[in-house]
Amino acid sequence: MSWLRDNSKKWVKAAISETGALRAAALLAPQSAVILMYHSVVEDPRQTAATIRISQSRASFERQMATLARRFNVVTLDQVVSFVSEGLPIPRRSVVVTFDDGFADNFETALPILTRYGIPATFYVLVGAVDSGTPPWYCRLAYAFNSTMHGEWKQPNANFKFNLHDRDGKSAAMEAAWDIGAALSGSAQQRMVEEVEATLEVQAIDARSRLMMNWDQVRALKNAGHTIGGHSLTHPNLAHVSAAEAKAEIFGCKEALEAMVGSPAKHFCYPHPALNPQWTPDTKEITREAGFQSAVLTTPGSVRRGDDILSLRRIPASEDSERWIWDLERAFVG
């Protein structure tokens, strides 16, 4: 029955989307834009299930970009920022495409598709990971838990042990480890990850994995007409580290990015590996002081004139294209 119910819902959503009912309803709503959030595009997401975990298939991404080119108006982030902060006009059904972290497949797989459909995108680069070639700490932890032969893991500073032979137990262990790592930055975060890797007796995933872009590829994206934004130095949850750490992450990211790319870094993306919230008034003020003109969240929703330019909502892109179009059309309705 659950299969029937889920497929019935899916059919209803698809039918409503195809009839244009949501598009018609959106004409009655205040004008808005939607910022789409992607991370990784690979041939088969099973390839990165043990590391990135949030990859999308190349085929699904291409279908979605073809749909954007045919049914929506894809605009740049700068255009949406001007719309939100200055009230400048943008077309109805405006969409921005964004990517977080700086995975190599953004250049290798996503870029040719974006080029084919003439779609500009914004890439929020995790400076430390691109600089070293080593994947983000949350990918390293995922790899450690997915590849270890150990049967249990004891959470540091707690008496709770997780059964790693049980799928739910392994997922719970990863989430607990992510919660710890999200509240750390820099060398403290690095030590925490290394301790988990040592405890689980796994070979650390590093630059040899070739999961991350290099700076030449980042610059090539910029030269192809795409926007390069910042995503911190080491990907902590900035709302859960000290003010000094948050300042080092945000200011350091902007300075390094501008030095490596050779142009102003105007746009920022708050990392959200775990824990809530992902920003506070203090972190937002640091972002403003650093000179970023906009910042985006992982909080779902569309953006409208007068929204806070340093806390813009985004829609996560589903692998399921029917759900993706439903989420997109519904966002315009508000």
Cα separation of 115 and 117, whole Å?
5
CB distance 234 to 180 below 8 Å: no
Q: Rounded mean pLDDT of the chain?
A: 93
Q: Six-digit token pair at 297? A: 């969240």
Proportion of the chain above pLDDT 70, given as a percent: 91
Helix (H) or strand (E) holding 314: none
Mean pLDDT, residues 3-7: 49
Cα separation of 205 and 296, whole Å?
29
15 compared with 208, residue with greater pLDDT: 208
Q: Say which CATH class 20-133+212-333 falls into.
A: alpha beta
CB distance 102 to 125 below 8 Å: yes
Nearest by Cα to 109 from 66, 50, 59: 59
Helix (H) or strand (E) holding 167: helix 167-182
CB distance 98 to 38 below 8 Å: yes
156 compared with 301, residue with greater pLDDT: 301
Cα separation of 48 and 325, whole Å?
24
Answer yes or no: is pLDDT of 104 > 80.
yes
Which DSSP state fits 159? -
168 Cβ contact list (under 8 Å, min separation 6): none
Mean pLDDT, residues 69-89: 97
CB distance 309 to 85 below 8 Å: yes
Answer yes or no: is pLDDT of 13 > 60.
no
Helix (H) or strand (E) holding 173: helix 167-182
Pairing of strands 121-125, 227-230: parallel
Cα separation of 210 and 236, whole Å?
22
Answer yes or no: is pLDDT of 25 > 60.
no
Which DSSP state fits 92? T
Answer yes or no: is pLDDT of 4 > 70.
no
Query: What is the model's pLDDT at position 30?
Result: 80
Tens-digit pLDDT profile for residues 252-296: 999 999 999 999 999 999 999 999 999 999 999 999 999 999 999
Query: What is the model's pLDDT at position 12?
Result: 47
* pTM of the complete model: 0.93
Answer yes or no: is pLDDT of 234 > 80.
yes
Mean pLDDT, residues 142-153: 96
Answer yes or no: is pLDDT of 26 > 70.
no
